Chain A
């Protein structure tokens, strides 16, 4: 029933990796018996990897205990994971949480994805599939732990029933059930069938965190061996029987249409099957191999009908955004007192304008999807961050009801928000629909991936601080002017012109993305200005630039008023103990009370987002010639409960690569309405040689579940920018850094 299964990594065995799909009929029959909540005894046939490649069913294996847990007679446990694995380790983290409550033997755990279609048919028993906003753990911890605990109670009950003893006398540990008084034991595998027939309990209690044995442990990932042997199958690697390949080109100017296509020469090329239109805006070539499709597409003569967008450029956007900095039509995000009045009445005013460019996610694996369309069924194999949205998009593009569609998720070669969008899925379905009965794998070239991003939004921000005669802040205002992501991806969520996502990290005190400072007066507002370049959620989203704006400007205030940047922050953070704790942890670990090594300078930043508190201190040097070296970064995260500390560290390290690559190099510029950058040659990423040492402190103060995939990105750039100022006296207010000389 899943698209990918990840057997335990320890022995590297791949024997029972199930790449599988349910028979639709069995599945719907099963779902008819579905009641709300956990479903017991529901039987789905599984298929193995080879079988799927050949399109044939393999013999079914053991029934599930409940929606989350399958126990095989040999005691192997398969844990179902609704969220997508894109590198962030969610698969392992979520399995740890189910296994914690299930009390199963971790060594016998593997995982699989249920499909969005099954979720739909089973009244969303697995909850939300979408994987973004660092929600993998925090958005499903309750659900998955309940799944594990319920299954455990059913397994223990089944053993007690068999022994005819009170269930209270039985306990479970590492997949073994023991009857205390008689010391009799049995295993999960032996009672799984009986357990599956029981009515699931409704009164489910979670373990006390102090009794956790798997949550909080530095466990190895479950998907590593396949990723070191080339065996991990990504969307791009799929091969279905009779499959053709497609390359596609969408209008380089967003909003333009195809005027004409001359395909005479291309159709004569070997292996080329078809040249087709995809909606009004794109052209695809279908061929036997992707290389042939891609080279034929490159040779195709396409004329575009460009609209007014073809005149737009990054410079023209910048003008529009600049005007927004003083415009009247702004919507308030968070306001304390009358900041404008306080600033107007202040003895001294500091003002600065910052900006942040468009950026592409550049997932290592370019967008792709494989689709088989027939008049009464549409199946899609796709690396997606949002299985349910993928199913909805499939149904719409296929012209079929969702019940006649299915989406099989595949591990992602990077997501970063890009694969939460469904544009490329619609495209692949539209192509396959013109090739009925033939599976078609559509892959974007890197050039297409660069041109057709769902870009990090572009914004400018005017920061103004009022100071009294002693240099104390009396008011702070932030005017953000620029692009709203929601305006592109979910306009229905904009109420009264307000896109709440704009204010990440600047919100009023609360559990999500709240500001860590108290100013006597404060105002952040947003003038929405949307260029024609489509925006999307981009790892870290708006927290990235908001943290740069606020943390850099606080550094400016500190220097302008001769205060130490740490001391100034501490003074403003006394009412925000969790924010302050991570900052203090960083200061302690980096040795802030002692000077940095000669020639090395420090910069600080802190923020809160995705439910977690983060801070960083960067140590950099800048040569006379202006060559920057980032030597060391100390970072702290308080994510409440730390499910797998070594994976949190991996996310923190990775966040610096992502955030520093963005800060140093990445900018998508627009000329004549289209993106100018085409590949890694003109859109560089951070490389290993540039990567600083990263020291991670995990505070794990408990009591809440914060995300870890994104928040740290937001402190990467401002910590380094502040350190650059300390080193050179140069204040960088617009990115990327490559546009500036650091020569002194």
Chain B
């Protein structure tokens, strides 16, 4: 039986030839946090990590994955939503409907890992996921917050709580003020 290495576990699955990784994750392995939005690599809702790199799983045949390649889905990112990106997302209340957000978060976590000192241009280039609700400005702000937090962690700073992260940013958004 073919195997996939998902979220640290080697899992058996059964699927017809050509079945995309997305549908194996969702329908065989019960990992529905990864979403279907287009099926043609346009929207990013299906983004997962393969060996740490963001990949659109809707166009990746499951059979192309070797058991040595480590797949991470939103469920496996952290046990309880404590990745600095997730915390920043919570602090800034990024999600609206939330449907695109697993993909956004997987793309963003790959980005901050690859480019710790990222710029707005890096965010523009990497974050090509579609969000119909329009969370983009908060996505951008949250990536900056997380990147800063991760840089601080490298210098030995104690990780901030979600409420501490959120305060600094949500406070900028006064009733008559602008978004962060």
Query: Chain A 210-236, CB within 8 Å of chain B: the 1/0 string?
Result: 000000001011011111111111101
Of B20, B89, B98, B138, the residue contacting A650 (CB under 8 A) is B138
Residues 684-716 of A contacting B (Cβ, < 8 Å): 685-689, 691, 693-698, 700
Q: Which residue of B lies closest to A415 (CB)?
A: B97
Question: What residue of chain A has the Cβ atom nearest to residue B99's Cβ?
Answer: A413
Give the interface size bracket for A toward B.
35 or more
Q: Mark B47-80, 1 if CB is under 8 A from A, else 0.
A: 0000000000000000000000000011101101
Interface string of B120-135 (1 = CB under 8 A from A): 0001110111111111
Q: Are B170 and A87 in contact (CB under 8 A)?
A: no
Are A291 and B97 interface neighbours, CB within 8 A? no
User: CA–CA, A295 to B179, complex, Å?
Assistant: 44
Binding site for B on A (CB under 8 A): 9-10, 12, 86-89, 218, 220-221, 223-234, 236-237, 239, 245, 270-271, 289-292, 295, 362-366, 411-416, 443, 445-446, 642, 645-647, 649-650, 653-658, 679-681, 685-689, 691, 693-698, 700
B164 at the A/B interface (Cβ < 8 Å)? no
Report yes or no: B97 in contact with A218, Cβ–Cβ below 8 A. Answer: no
Known: A239-B30, A689-B125. A653 touches B134 (CB 8 A): yes
Which residue of A231, A649, A688, A700 contacts B173 across the interface (Cβ within 8 Å)? Answer: A649
Interface string of B71-93 (1 = CB under 8 A from A): 00111011011000010011001
A513 to B33 Cα, complex, angstroms: 40
Most buried by B among A245, A649, A685, A686: A649
A289-B27, A366-B37, A445-B39 known; 4 new pairs, CB 8 Å cut-off, are A230-B73, A646-B173, A688-B131, A695-B177
Whose C-beta in chain B lies nearest to the C-beta of A227?
Answer: B98
Q: Could you tell me if A654 and B27 are in contact, using CB atoms closer than 8 angstroms?
A: no
Contacts of B134 in A (CB 8 A): 653-658, 686, 691
Whether B137 is near chain A, meaning CB under 8 Å from some CB there, is yes
* CB-based contact A230/B102 at 8 Å: yes
- Bound state CA distance, A239 and B173, in angstroms? 40
Partner of B132, one of A226, A289, A414: A414
State in angstroms the CA–CA spacing of A172 and B23 once bound together: 52
Q: Is B140 an interface residue (CB 8 A)?
A: yes
A363 vs B86: C-alpha distance in the bound complex, in angstroms? 23
* A650 and B93 contact, Cβ closer than 8 Å, known pairs A218-B170, A290-B27, A291-B23: yes
- Given A230-B34, A236-B36, A291-B27, A414 and B133 touching (CB < 8 A)? yes
Q: What residues of B have a CB within 8 angstroms of the CB of A653 in the complex? A: 134-138, 179
Size of B's binding interface in residues, CB under 8 A:
70
Contact with A along B129-151 (1 / 0, CB 8 A): 11111111111100000000000
Tell me if B42 and A87 are in contact (CB < 8 A): no
Interface contact A233-B105, CB-CB below 8 Å: no
Query: When chains A and B are docked, how far (Å) is the Cα of A434 from the Cα of B32?
Result: 27
CA distance A362 to B39 in the complex (A): 14
The answer to whether A412 and B97 touch across the interface, beta carbons within 8 angstroms, is: yes
- Tell me if B45 is interfacial: C-beta within 8 Å of chain A: yes
Cα distance A236–B86 when bound, in Å?
23
Cβ-defined contact, A446 with B97, below 8 A: no
The closest CB in chain A to the CB of B102 belongs to A230
Asked whether, in the complex, the Cβ of B97 is within 8 Å of the Cβ of A86, the reply is: yes
Complex contact B137–A693 (CB within 8 A): yes
Query: Is A228 a contact partner of B132 (Cβ separation < 8 A)?
Result: no
* Residue in chain A with minimal CB distance to B43: A680
Contact of A229 among B30, B75, B123, B138 (CB under 8 A): B75
B98 touches A87 (CB 8 A): yes
13 contacts between A and B (CB under 8 A): A220-B90, A227-B101, A245-B27, A291-B23, A291-B27, A364-B100, A413-B97, A649-B179, A653-B134, A653-B135, A654-B96, A654-B134, A655-B134
Determine chain B's interface SS by DSSP, over half rule: loop
Q: Does B153 contact A (CB under 8 A)?
A: no
> Is A364 touching B130 in the complex (CB atoms < 8 A)?
yes
In the bound complex, how far is the Cα of B35 from the Cα of A364, in angstroms?
A: 9
Verify B135–A654 contact, CB threshold 8 A.
Answer: yes
A271 to B166, CA, bound (A): 48
Chain A residues near B38 (CB-CB < 8 A): 446, 679-680
Q: Judge whether B89 and A231 touch: CB under 8 Å.
A: no
A301 to B163, CA, bound (A): 56
A688 / chain B contacts, CB cutoff of 8 Å:
123-124, 127-129, 131, 136, 139-140
Residues from chain B with Cβ under 8 Å of A649 in the complex: 173, 179
Is B132's CB under 8 angstroms from A685's CB?
A: yes
B residues within 8 A CB of A271? Answer: 16
B19 within 8 A of A: yes
Q: How far is the CB of B175 from chain A (nearest CB, A)?
A: 5
B93:A647 contact, CB within 8 angstroms: yes
Please state if A292 and B139 are interface contacts (CB–CB under 8 Å).
no
What's the nearest-Cβ distance from chain B to residue A223, in Å?
7
Closest to B96 in A: A87
5 nearest interchain CB pairs?
A230-B33, A657-B134, A87-B97, A413-B99, A654-B134
A228 lies within 8 A of B90 (CB): yes
Contact A290 B23 (CB under 8 A): yes
Given A229-B80, A658-B134, CB of A89 within 8 Å of CB of B96: yes
Give the chain B neighbours of A681 by CB distance below 8 A.
40, 42
Tell me, yes or no, whether B155 is within 8 Å of chain A by CB. no
* Pairwise interchain contact A228-B89, C-beta atoms closer than 8 A: yes
Q: Which residues of B contact A416 (CB under 8 A)?
A: 132
Nearest CB in chain B: distance from A471 CB, A: 36
- Residues in A with CB closer than 8 Å to B93 are 220-221, 224, 646-647, 650
In whole angstroms, how far apart are the Cα atoms of A333 and B163 in the complex? 51
Q: Are B97 and A365 in contact (CB under 8 A)?
A: yes
Measured CB to CB, the closest approach of chain B to A16, in angstroms, equals 16
Beta-carbon contact of B98 and A411 below 8 Å:
yes
Docked pose: A89 CA to B15 CA in angstroms: 39
Q: Does B19 contact A364, Cβ atoms closer than 8 Å?
A: no
Is B99's CB under 8 angstroms from A414's CB? yes
Interface core residue of A87, A231, A290 (most chain B CB under 10 Å): A87
Contact present for A365 and B99 (CB under 8 Å)? yes
Give Cα distance in the complex from A292 to B27, angstroms.
11
Residue numbers in B under 8 Å from A642 (CB-CB): 175
Closest to A238 in B: B32
Given that A292-B16, A691-B136 are contacting pairs, would A227 and B40 also be in contact in the complex, using a CB cutoff of 8 Å?
Answer: no
Smallest beta-carbon distance A218→chain B, Å: 6
Q: Which residues of B contact A694 (CB under 8 A)?
A: 137, 178-179
